[in-house]
Amino acid sequence: MSVTITAVVVTNRPVLLERYALPGLAAVRRAGMEAVILDQSDSGGAEELARGGDICWLRSTPPLARGRNEAVAVTSSEVIAFVDDDAEFDAGWAGTIVDLFADRPEVGVVAGRATDARGRRWPGAAAGLYGWPTNPFGLCNGFNLAFRRAALADAGSFDEALGAGAPFRSAEDTDMVYRVMRSGWQVLCSDDVTVVHHDWRSGAQQLRLHYGYGYGAGAQTAGHAAQGDREALRVARSEALKHVLTFFRAALTLRPRVAAVQPPFLIGMWAGYRARKRVLRSNDHPQA
């Protein structure tokens, strides 16, 4: 039995949207599936692009997690597939996601793959099913991630303190995947759901980006730990150790670009953890 799907792009970069994701969204519409653009740009510049592709356009405001929540609220399909504005895909991408969910009722998340423009595969977990208490970091990428609506209902809304444009910069995707698994659903990592994700950032921007990834990961951990979730602390320790080992392996095998982004992630992870603990503590004990 087939399931219904909506492909969603939350964007504040109309130029990248037009260049990369827009043709895929138009192809999804031509194949008879739904597609939505949540436009968080200052200009609202994606409206005309959406109209040309018969794509639903909605105005939104940052952060990214708010756009994701709004997409869930305004759609009714059984599956919501999120893809970034700098990713290329086709209608077959959405069709494969539909088939994977239809065949596996226990799956709440389908985590897809990515290659770069040269066809080189992005790192990621091995294909297969994952459940609680799997480490969500490295298990998924928010630029190619689909959720069963029922799983989102069980897990709750995306945390709007996390993710791009929010105080804690990233991890709204891994946080949701973690909560979906904790609610009893499985995550399916699939080699059959692949996008081309374009790497357009400079070296300095990559360092800032990985600091932000770590900052969000630390903030995510602090949020769950504050609720008494000790498993979140174990996961964070495992993730930190992975980055330490990756740094040394990359240094020994002369991969400086890989080695260079590990310390910013680790520093960001510690900073994000401490920052969110301070916020949570101040919320528990507000000033008189």
Over residues 225-260, the pLDDT tens digits come to 999 999 999 999 999 999 999 999 999 999 999 999
- In this prediction, residue 286 carries a pLDDT of 61
Average pLDDT value for the chain: 95
On whether both 88 and 13 belong to a single domain, the answer is yes
Neighbouring C-beta atoms of residue 206, cutoff 10 Å: 15
Quote the tokens at residue 155: 């897990």
Tens digits of residue pLDDT in 133-177: 999 999 999 999 999 999 999 999 999 999 999 999 999 999 999
Q: Is the pLDDT of residue 272 over 50?
A: yes
**Do residue 134 and residue 19 come from a single domain?**
yes
For residue 11, the tally of other CB atoms under 10 A from its CB is: 25
Summarised one tens digit per residue, pLDDT across range 6-19 is: 999 999 999 999 99
The last residue of a domain, from among 162, 180, 197: 197
Domain hosting residue 219, numbered range: 203-284
Residue 1 is predicted with a pLDDT of 56
Question: What are the beta bridge partners of residue 5?
Answer: 79
**Are 174 and 122 in a shared domain?**
yes
Same domain, 187 and 210: no
Q: Both 115 and 140 in a single domain?
A: yes
